[in-house]
Amino acid sequence: MIEKIEWSDSYILGIPEIDNQHKKLVQIANELYDAALGSDENYSSEMEKILKKLTDYTVYHFSSEENFMRAHEYIGSDAHKTAHDNFVNEVNYQIKKLSADKKEDGQRFYSYIVGWVLNHIAKADRVWANFVKSKQV
């Protein structure tokens, strides 16, 4: 059983541009939730549509983060970028394996995506955000 995720203010990093992008990611993740539980007829096209939206936005968002990190010479930039790249590669790989007769795979995929994103925001993003903020003071 998969669950919708909810934005929590505990995810706020204190960098408004990035926080707003994270909120938008949660919103798209919830569209993916709806698609993953959608009717058989539209399943593939809906999943495809939302996953494209999600990956496009994620790539855009990751590059915003990477620009912030680089601009502030964050020492963990490369490792953080590698984590982003690995996630994007994994998602692109998984997308190709989705099919309408295996909807439980789509639900598992949804769980993987939201699990990764929320954990990443709560941990790795907080580290670089705190670093950037400490330099802005």
Residue 46 binds Fe ion, judged by CB under 5 A: no
Nearer Cβ to Fe ion (46/65): 65
Nearer Cβ to Fe ion (58/109): 58
Rounded-to-integer distance, Cα 38 and Cα 36, Å: 6
Closest CA to 95 of 51, 130, 46: 51
Rounded-to-integer distance, Cα 26 and Cα 20, Å: 10
Window of 8-16, 51-59, 71-79, 125-133 that interacts with Fe ion by CB under 5 A: 125-133
Q: Out of 58, 65, 69, 106, name the contact with Fe ion by CB under 5 A.
A: 65
Q: Coil, strand or helix: which one is 64?
A: helix
Rounded-to-integer distance, Cα 24 and Cα 34, Å: 16
Nearer Cβ to Fe ion (35/114): 114
Shortest Cβ 36–Fe ion spacing (Å): 23
* Phi then psi dihedrals of residue 26, to 5 deg: -60, -40
Q: For 68, how many CA atoms within 13 A lie in the half-sphere containing its CB?
A: 24
The type of residue at 87 is F
Q: Out of 51, 125, 129, 132, name the contact with Fe ion by CB under 5 A.
A: 125
Nearer Cβ to Fe ion (19/125): 125
Shortest Cβ 41–Fe ion spacing (Å): 36
Per-residue x/- track, 92-111, Fe ion (CB under 5 A): --------------------
Interface with Fe ion by CB under 5 A: which residues? 65, 125
